[in-house]
Structure 1
Amino acid sequence: MLNRYPLWKYLLILLVLLVGLIYSLPNLFPEDPAVQISSDGGDFSLDERRLNSLESSLTDADIDIQSIERDAKSVLIRLHNADDQILARDMLSETLGDDYVVALNLAESTPGWLKSLSASPMTLGLDLRGGVHFLLEVDMKAALTQRLEVNASAMRETLRDERIRYRNTEVQERSIHMDFMNAEDRDEARSLIRRDFPDLDYRDLERERGAGLAMTLTDTAVQEIQDYAVNQNLTTLRNRVNELGVAEPLVQRQGPARIVVELPGVQDTAAAKRIVGATANLEFRLEARPDTPQAETESYDFRNTERTATLMRDVIITGDSVSNANRSFDENGRPQVNINLDGTGGTLMNRSTRTNIGRNMAVLFIEHKTRDRTVMEDGKETTVRTPYTERSIISLATIQSALGNSFRITGLESPTEAADLALLLRSGSLAAPIYFAQERTIGPSLGEKNIERGILSVQIGLLLVVAFMLIRYKVFGVIANLALGFNLVLLVAAMSLLGATLTLPGIAGIVLTLGMAVDANVLIFERIREEMRTGLSAQQAIHAGYERAFTSIVDANITTLLVALILFSIGTGPVKGFAVTLSLGILTSLFTSLMVTRSMVNLCYGRKPVKKLWI
């Protein structure tokens, strides 16, 4: 019989619409403005008495508190008004001091029964939700110095293997200087080193005693090192941001030496800086023997103690060789980091420890920092940034047996420090230090204005489409408009389920989807009119209209879907957001225009004789 669906198809459509309604509901519960208190490094501790005092001070300042939630790592203070966030943060920061991190936050308000179904609202982008914007600058001078130090270490090892004596190694800007006992040793060393380092310019140096050799990086080599430093830092920063769990972050290069990082929804600038900007790395070195020449050793302090130890200058491996790292606790309940090395790192570690059983091996923690000071230049205040490097020993243990690809690092102060170190090692070390050239927090108030304008644009677009369909197609227009509403619900539900991020371009994609969603119904309804003019009955016209318009509708939407997929694959940031909403909108509109409207038309006309259609 024409225009009748089997029962299972009606039930399937009803189930899809019901699931879409449930998973779109969390978007009706907006996030609450909040202030979050957490620890700056160590374990979190904030007693009830002090928390009550903070609550009283906020209340005295006419800040309307909605609720206070506490867990093992932080305290979340929900507020009724977003305008009170900054005032509350400033008051709490001044009261608590530097031992705590007080940050703006947006807390979910989804009901518990929806959370139990894993339903959550759509993630909003930086332009809607606010977040953190960093402009990072790569220290190109340090990149060259680090590469030269690695090269110098390899050169020393080569010369020792060939039993060529050298007296001193010095790294200067773009060159390495080495001193030898005589010119013959220098010439032999140059021929050996040139084989492994062809990208250096070699020049003899005159010395009062002995002979010297200067090895300078060529301009091409300098450019390659600098490009590698920026690209490697890009990869590392992306890994770190992914570890933070930020949805749709932006990490991209800007100019020859700068990187832009945008973290939507992150209001905790201090915590983001601690992870994104951390330039920490590890070096594994042997402790020097008493008879080791002074030129081959370096002395370092232990962290937070007055002890010192003398280590070999040569590095066994660095944090670059770490393939995985996880925080755990040792048999005494102290925090530690379990390390897994890649193939090359495991081979180097095994080779070094196998021949040095009984010696001590140190884990050297290296961190690049800056000191900023304000000076007056030409009557204007200028910030002068001075980079410096801190090196300290976090572990010094005796090698009991040959180590392989897995071992552990102990001597860490707190579980938080162990977790941060593991994260940094997993995501990879930076090829060169980075410094914050600019940072800013985009507050949620700006996002609220964008959301209001976006919702208004959706409402206007929806209203115009609804009005057109009602005027043009009457009863069938009502059916198309109901399907359009279902389409919007399914689109929101799909974006919520997939964790897609909604941005301003994404809202533009939704508006475009609303316009495109009725295209299929226009084709179907016009085809029904055409079939009726040829003399077919109402039931036959409805059947022919849906059947004969199907191919045209699918072809038109598939071509648009292909374009959206191409935009998603090659685009970044806003372009991706637009492509995501457009792709999902095409799929949901196909379902609603072909199946949902057909089911409603079948229910209205499929079970009765019809002489005239209101179309």
Structure 2
Amino acid sequence: MILCVCKNSGRIKAVKYYRFWLGIIIIIVLFTGWVVWPDNPGLHIDALGLDTDIEVRQGLDLQGGSRVLLEAVEGLATDISGDELNATRQIVERRVNGLGLTEAVVQTQGSDRILVELPGISNRELALSTIQGTGLLEFVDFSGLGVNAPREGDCILTNAQIEQISPNPTCAPAEGETERREAQPRLDGTPYTTVMTGKGLDDAQAVPAGTGFNQWVVSFTLNSEGDSIFADFTGSHINQPMAIVLDGIVISAPTIQARISGSGQITGNFTKGEAESLAIQLRYGALPVPLQVAAFDTVGPTLGEISVNKSVRAGIVGVITVLFFMVTYYRAPGVAAALALLVFAMVNFALYKLIPITLTLPAITGFLISIGTAVDGNILIFERMKEEIRAGRSLDTAIQLGFERAWSAIWTSNVSTIIIGFILLMFGRTFGASTVQGFAITLMLGLVINLFTAVIVTRTFLTTIVTFAGGYLKERPALLGA
């Protein structure tokens, strides 16, 4: 009698334990269901400072776009520190975000390269010029040069370029040419004097010129330091030219008409796109390292649409097939596994949107493989259960031993595959192989989630089924797949 009481007491504790987990799982399902809802409004709570959109981030092969590999200008690669490369990456990322490409990927590659993925980009040339340009804006003293003053489009050498870029800086090729141009000093061989760089600017915006000829200018405001420098120089050089130079190229050389302070405009016969590109470069600062394009790749949106349709269809068919097999072959345990698999899928998709993870075809493949791994774990558990039932164990004992004895195999297989995924993640940090990263990330994430769903979620659902229909199942072992 005492043994019976102890046994019932242990069963009651187990039921309470799994009721607790059932409540946790229901909360997880409700939250992830809200996250994966197609028209999710996002998190916008002013009091908490939350302003986040929750949406699927599509990669190049799904959405179409461009992938560009930038590298340090030849001759500078060996002199770049890790901090300089990371600072350059951050500025490139801010410039890309300034273009409105919130789903872009910017990451370092090796010791002197930066990989930029631009999904859905419509103006390739504008994007390239925006992210590649060094963005070193200079106001250069042209006073006293007369007819020897450089013209618009000329590549000149300034002291700021020597200090911030290289002792021998170069400029972008002239129109119709392919070779970068060597910066030219004054006739006496000395560099031109930089009055102020873009560091003196507080903000820059592209605005219409107001001429009626579809011309744009860049309107800028000065910070306190820049205002002091600019006001002093313009006040003492009235009726003298001052050049506006970007990345070593003379944009314009207007004559100073009066003392300028607070704000000003940069003119240069800009189109709207060119003015916006320049404004973005000025807002987010000059690149510490000059960059050039090492490789370029384009993916068409038509291929992306076809890929999405086929991937979604394959995923749906695969999941339905697996669910049908589990329910048909394992009956009641299969129902628990099917419910756990749905929770597994919801948690995965929710994390894809929350982290967020850029979905590519390899990333979707990694998710589908992780589904197979999740099913493998359930199969190991259920086969162990069947062995215990056939050996004459009670249903409760068979469930307990099935999960306990399958755990080591599930843990070992998942961890070993996670290690392989980590190796793929490391090797995926090269141009052309970066899509492997998506596969590795979704695969590893799925395996980690599987360690939770295969044991806790499946067991909770199975225990709940046994709690309500245990007597019925004991009389019909076939419903347990035994």
Unaligned runs of 5+ in 2: 1-9, 46-50, 154-185, 207-217
Tell me the distance in 1 between the aligned counterparts of 2:256 and 2:428.
48
Partner of 1:32: none
- Structure number with the bigger relative contact order (C-alpha 8 A, sep ≥ 6) is 2
Partner of 2:211: none
Whichever structure has more helix as a proportion of its residues is 2
Partner of 1:19: 31
Does the 8 Å contact 1:326/1:337 carry over to 2?
yes
1:283 aligns with 2:138: yes
Pick one of 127, 133, 148 that aligns with 1:272: 127
Rate the CA distance shift 1:580–1:242 in 2: closer, same or farther, 3 A.
farther
Pick one of 250, 257, 264 that aligns with 1:410: 264
Letter of the aligned partner of 1:20 in structure 2? T
1:496 aligns with 2:358: no
Letter of the aligned partner of 1:611 in structure 2? K
Letter of the aligned partner of 2:332 in structure 1? V
Rate the CA distance shift 1:427–1:570 in 2: closer, same or farther, 3 A.
farther
Pairwise CA distance, 1:437: 9.3
Pick one of 220, 230, 235 that aligns with 1:336: 220
Rate the CA distance shift 1:111–1:353 in 2: closer, same or farther, 3 A.
closer
> Which residues of 2 match residues 534-553 of structure 1 at below 5 A?
534-553=391-410
Does the 8 Å contact 1:326/1:419 carry over to 2?
no
Tell me the distance in 2 between the aligned counterparts of 1:129 and 1:444.
6
Tell me the distance in 1 between the aligned counterparts of 2:384 and 2:15.
19
* C-alpha distance after superposition, 1:202-239 (max 9, x if no partner): xxxxxxxxxxxxxxxxxxxxx6347669x979846555
Pairwise CA distance, 1:13: 0.6
Does the 8 Å contact 1:250/1:261 carry over to 2?
yes
Pick one of 353, 365, 382 that aligns with 2:244: 365
Does the 8 Å contact 1:243/1:423 carry over to 2?
yes
* C-alpha distance after superposition, 1:518-568 (max 9, x if no partner): 122122212222332443211111122223433443343233334334433
Does the 8 Å contact 1:325/1:423 carry over to 2?
no
Tell me the distance in 2 between the aligned counterparts of 1:420 and 1:15.
46
Partner of 2:22: 10
Tell me the distance in 1 between the aligned counterparts of 2:224 and 2:439.
40
Superposition RMSD in Å:
4.9
Tell me the distance in 1 between the aligned counterparts of 2:382 and 2:376.
10
| SS of aligned partner of 1:517 | helix
Partner of 1:391: 251
| SS of aligned partner of 1:266 | coil
| SS of aligned partner of 1:224 | coil
Tell me the distance in 2 between the aligned counterparts of 1:119 and 1:367.
36
Letter of the aligned partner of 1:13 in structure 2? I
Pairwise CA distance, 1:340: 9.4
Tell me the distance in 2 between the aligned counterparts of 1:488 and 1:416.
43
Partner of 1:315: 193
Letter of the aligned partner of 1:486 in structure 2? V
Letter of the aligned partner of 2:459 in structure 1? R
* C-alpha distance after superposition, 1:111-145 (max 9, x if no partner): 7599999564311111111123568899xxxx6xx
Unaligned runs of 5+ in 1: 27-109, 144-222, 303-309, 369-387, 401-406
Does the 8 Å contact 1:249/1:261 carry over to 2?
yes
Partner of 1:576: 437
Partner of 2:48: none
Pairwise CA distance, 1:432: 5.4
* C-alpha distance after superposition, 1:453-508 (max 9, x if no partner): 21233234324433442343222122212222222222112101222111011111
Partner of 2:168: none
Letter of the aligned partner of 1:314 in structure 2? Y
Tell me the distance in 2 between the aligned counterparts of 1:395 and 1:563.
64
Tell me the distance in 1 between the aligned counterparts of 2:420 and 2:428.
11
1:516 aligns with 2:352: no
Tell me the distance in 2 between the aligned counterparts of 1:569 and 1:563.
10
* C-alpha distance after superposition, 1:419-443 (max 9, x if no partner): 6445314253486585899785x44
Tell me the distance in 2 between the aligned counterparts of 1:125 and 1:433.
24
Letter of the aligned partner of 2:265 in structure 1? G
Tell me the distance in 2 between the aligned counterparts of 1:285 and 1:464.
70
Partner of 1:207: none
Pairwise CA distance, 1:16: 0.5
Partner of 2:177: none
Letter of the aligned partner of 1:586 in structure 2? L
TM-score of the two chains, using structure 2 as the length reference: 0.65
